[in-house]
Amino acid sequence: MKKNILFIYSIPLFILFVLILHGCGPSPEANLQLKIAEVDSLFIKGVKAGISNRDSLMDEQRLLAKKYTEKLDPARVPAEDLFAAGQLYFFAGAPEQAITVLERKDLNQADMDYLDFLFQLYAQNQTLDKAKELFFTFIKPQKPPQGENYYYYLYYGYSEQGDLEQAMEIIDDGIVALEKQIANTLKIEKADLLFNMGHKKDAMAILEELSREKLLTRRLRASVQAKKNLFELIGKQAPELLVEKWLDSEPLKIKNLRGKVILLDFWATWCRPCHIMFPHLKKLYSDYHEKGLEIIGVTRYYGMFNQMGQDLRNISPADELGWIEKFKAFHEIPFTYAVAGTKDGEINAKAYGVTGIPHMLLIDKKGRIRYYSIGSGRASEDKLEKGVIELLNENI
């Protein structure tokens, strides 16, 4: 009888021990799909509530996702919740753990949303060979809509890493695989790649062939012409800029800056890749301004401003200029800004072959355009710094 009583009393003690050991709350791996839905909806709820500061909303998402992933064990996530767990890790700013979770699934059984998410993570985290294998093995055979995006991710990724042979392989495959109008956009990228590899004649031949295409869209025809203008500019005198307002500088003329190296940065307040280049441009200015480098940030009026917690539309040039000044101070930009009117800004862009921003050009001490770089990233940073050093060391 005594033994039975001891046994009965030992049951609650055992349960208490288990609860202490494993915690009294639900498992961190429980309800993951509800948790990601909650994190994902924070942004929509914030916008509906009138919160326009995207950064603060994203911070809230990140903090909540961190809370849900803090004790999450990737190896214990149920198979049906792998996608949700990967998204939570992504929002929490932990892409490596997101990849680890997603890779647990048999990709032969994965749907396009799953494959696309894993591809994005590979591409953004510079594991391009994995992204390439995933695309050609699992994604491309499904002929996804907007399949050109995968080619662009891989092309720009390999270009940024300086692996131009792989970049060319991606471009050539896309030109064959994609619908003609989309393939034509890749041909423009191929011309750009060939030009940067030193094959100007081959690059111009592609552009000439494209310009003879009768069914080329107006936008593509304009891009082809702008790229031809850009290629032809290299080695020639830089045209003067049309500027309505100079910020933190007296009006400048390129012809009056002979003896200095000039970096022109075509940018816009709404352009995220432009923002990514700011720290590098500021460093270049800090390191080389005293040695003869001038940087001019070139922009124009767009009639809107959606930074620094603002979402302003159809604003006047005067109001936009005020916000550009605040934007410059906020980002502590030390070099001058050249702000053009809308039409003059379009003329500047055409004169310098601008088809996308950030679009940066280096002008040597004799006023000749020598190098250009388009887009943010390590490849642009390396090219600009090497170009600046080379041109500063040249004798007039």
CATH number of 245-392: 3.40.30.10
28-37, 180-189, 249-258: the lowest-pLDDT one: 28-37
H, E, C per residue of 235-291: CCECCCCCCCEEECCCCCCHHHHCCCEEEEEECCCCCHHHHHHHHHHHHHHHHHHHH
User: Residue 22 has what pLDDT?
Assistant: 47
User: Residue 347 has what pLDDT?
Assistant: 93
Residue in 264, 241, 263, 236 with CA at minimum distance from that of residue 253: 241
Dihedrals φ, ψ of 39, to 5°?
Answer: -65, -45
pLDDT digits (tens, 9 = 90+) for 117-146: 999 999 988 899 999 999 999 999 999 988
| Contact assessment for residue 266 and residue 358, using Cβ atoms and an 8 Å cutoff | yes
Which neighbouring-strand residues pair with 263? 295, 362
Q: Which two tokens stand for residue 343?
A: 């039409």
Which neighbouring-strand residues pair with 261? 293
Q: For 218-234, what is the mean pLDDT?
A: 89
pLDDT digits (tens, 9 = 90+) for 338-363: 999 999 999 999 899 898 899 999 99
User: Residue 6 has what pLDDT?
Assistant: 44
